[in-house]
Structure formats: structure tokens, C-alpha cells
A and B are shown apart, each in its own frame.
Chain A
């Protein structure tokens, strides 16, 4: 990358690094920080320049996501939501809808994406949020839960059913009938603004329904999640990098039994494993991003793999990192304490580890040779 996005926002990244612990404890990121980054296009960096975005490719965007993830998973989560909202508009919306909504998302307004409901988590087919068209308006009723960034959002992309089909609708949070309640005390990504979103008879212009009704729900969900999964995967790389940074510094300076703890082999082994985890997660993410950039159909499975490997490695790596830090990392707000809590949630969201495993197994069983296409192509 042109290190532009890092250099240009260096002051911001320093601020994030210095404040991430405090935001974690307070359960909130100042809005000015979020809208500032939003207006700089950083929160959804893949939006094209014509819509005010940075127009980054998947690799560059991934590096940026990992960088933010290494500093603050709450901010990275907000980025994931904003990026996923933008991607959904880009992918499902008409040309007019892209022109109407994307500049808002690169102009400082904040967005979230709402699939999950109290009774529809992994099984999104069970969702009951309804969109009803009424002339040139649409009426939305339903209840969404654990929606990342919803507490900050100006716009929420709500996924619901529309008769036998499905649709995604852009809901301004100041519309009548929208109620947002923060999830009290999330165990991780504590400042990401998770909230419950109640929608009661929310009437909006039908032009807010992205691409119209008549989409298939699984198709819609798979499409929207694809971006979120890449973002979470790179975010997990960030978690591992944050841990590696803290742990290598600590293990060199902390002395017990007359030498730096890094010289105790059991500690050194953990550092080796953490390094291997970071390299492994990076490699799967890079491979998936490469597929996105080349437009290869392998991107679909590569994305699931990246998310699954990233989250699994982040959980193992963060637990190991906390073991090395011991009491030095055992206070809330510490980068490794946060990593430990935040990483676990990455195994739950955007398709839990089990759901990812089912998809990976299905793919392996169907093809019998997961990488055949790429190998043949070379």
C-alpha cells in the first residue's frame, strides 16, 4: 500500500491506540472520532472514489482493517458494519440507490446491518421482520438484536421478508417507529455500540428497498455477509498482531528466575505459536482477498475459510498471549485482555465457527479437492 491511509491518519491511530482501553471500559467511542473517520472514508474503504470512498481493493482494505483491529476491535467492528452496509448497497442497490446512499456512508453518517433476531440467530431463515409495500412506501415491522454499531448508526440496513421473498431496506434511525436500546455490558468489543433495534410500523419511501423486493433470503444474506466475513477475518489478524506486539515486548523485559521470561522455553513456545497463528491467519486472508481482487469464484469459500481460521487462531492466540502477560494483562482495557474477550466473539458472529465448518465441509465433500481450480489454473 501507499502507506497513505496509515500516514495520513497517524494522529488518529495514535489517539485510537491511547484511548482504546478507556473506550472499552466506558463502553463507548466518542461520536466525533467515528464520524471523523467516516467522513475520511476510512470506515468503508472499499467504496469507489466516485461515491467519495477511498476505492481500496480487498488487500489494502484488509491491511487497514487489520491495523485498526490491532488497536481496537470495537472500532474495527464499527468499520465492519459500515463496510458491510456499503457493500450491501453497492451489491443490491440500483445505480440511483448507490448514488443516494454511498456518499452518506463516506460523508460521516454511520451505518449498521441487521439480520439477527431474538429467535433467528444462526438460522436466519426463521426471521420474522416484515416489509410490506404500500403504494410508493414500505412498512417495516420487526425486532433485531445484537446489531453492531446500531447505537451510533444514522442508517440501518434491515434484512427482512417480503411475502415469500426477502429484501434489504435502508432505515434512517430517526424515522418514526424505530427504537434503539443498547445491549447492556457486552463481554467484548464493548464499545462497538451493539443494540437491539425495534421497528414498529416504520413507513419509508419504497426507494429505500435496495434493488426492490423479490430477492431470495439465503442469497441476500450470503451476499451481505461475504464482506462482513472478510472484515472480521482481517480484524482477527489485527487481534493477533496486537497480542504479538504486547507479548514480545513484555517477554523481553519481564524477568523471573533471573532472566527474561522469553528465555523460559515454555514461554518461548507460546510466542512461536502466536507468531505462527498471526502468519497463518494473514496468509488465508491474503489468499481470500486475492480471490476478491481477481473476481475468482473461489472467493466464496476462501472467505469462509479466512473467517473461520482467523477467528479460531485469534481465540487460541489471545488466550496464549494472556497466559504470557499473566497479571500484567489481566486488567480490563489492556490490549491483551481486550483481545481475549473480543476474539471469542469473533467465533460467534458472521456465521459461527460451527456454521463455517458446515459450509467448509459441504464444499470439501462436493468438490473432493478444495484447491483443484487454482492448481489447474497455474
Chain B
């Protein structure tokens, strides 16, 4: 990530992120899940799709989903993914402050 991208980053907008993730899931699965719906138990996602979600979040929000965060629980629902993105962006902002 370039310094410009970090400093110019807009404040985190959970609703917008939820919408974007929902759109991605819909595009890839032809299903529009509720934000709280478990994507794995309802058969929408498997581990391959989870991997796509990881790469999507990384690309769209310029975060890195590293080892300890590669847990299905972080990808179970659209809401949990949005929360993950929020946390990772906050962490990387804090990182670049020091």
C-alpha cells in the first residue's frame, strides 16, 4: 500500500462494505444472502469460495488477511467479514502511525 492510499482513506463505512460484499457474493453465487446468514451451513460457500472472499477483501479494502485471521468464523457471514475488514483497516492505520 502506498502512503497516499493510507492517508487519503475515507472513514470506515460499515454499511457500504456490507453492500459491496453482498454484491460480490451475489455475483459469484447468484444468491443474495442476509447479512447474518451463515454462508457455509446454508451451502453458499465452501473453502474455495472462502478463498475468493479472502482475496476479494484484500483487493477491495487493501488489507492483508494473514494467518490468525484465516478462520472460517471471520467469513461465516457478510457482517463478520465487514467487521474483519473494519478491524484490519484500524490495525493497519495504527501500525502506520508508529
**Chain A interfacial positions (CB closer than 8 Å to B):** 91-94, 165, 210-212, 214-216, 218-223, 226, 294-301, 304, 359, 362-363, 366-368, 372-373
Contact = CB atoms under 8 A, between A and B. Distances in A.
Interface in B44-98: 46-56, 58-59, 66-68, 70-72
B68 A299 contact: no
A222 B71 contact: no
A373 B29 CA distance: 12
Given A219-B51, A300-B48, A367-B30, A94 B66 contact: yes
B98 to A, nearest CB: 14
A212 B67 contact: yes
Contact of B71 (A219, A226, A362, A367): A219
Interface in B14-59: 24, 27-30, 46-56, 58-59
Given A92-B70, A211-B70, A366-B30, 15 more contacts: A93-B67, A165-B71, A211-B67, A212-B67, A214-B68, A214-B71, A216-B47, A218-B72, A220-B70, A297-B24, A297-B59, A300-B48, A300-B52, A366-B28, A366-B29
A359 B52 CA distance: 13
Contacts of A216: 47, 70-72
Nearest to A367: B28
Nearest to A291: B55
25 contacts: A91-B67, A93-B66, A165-B71, A211-B66, A211-B67, A211-B70, A214-B68, A214-B71, A215-B68, A215-B70, A218-B46, A218-B50, A219-B71, A220-B70, A221-B47, A223-B51, A295-B55, A295-B58, A296-B55, A297-B24, A300-B48, A362-B46, A366-B29, A367-B27, A373-B27
Contact of B70 (A219, A298, A368): A219
Contacts of B55: 295-297, 299-300
Interface of B: 24, 27-30, 46-56, 58-59, 66-68, 70-72
B87 to A, nearest CB: 16
Given A92-B66, A211-B67, A215-B67, A226 B51 contact: yes
B52 A297 contact: yes
A221 B46 CA distance: 12
Nearest to B73: A216
Contact of B67 (A210, A218, A301, A368): A210
Contacts of A367: 27-30
A297 B27 CA distance: 12
A212 B68 contact: yes
Contacts of A296: 55, 59
Given A94-B66, A221-B47, A368-B30, A297 B71 contact: no
B59 A295 contact: yes
A298 B59 CA distance: 11
A216 to B, nearest CB: 4
B53 A94 contact: no
A263 B48 CA distance: 47
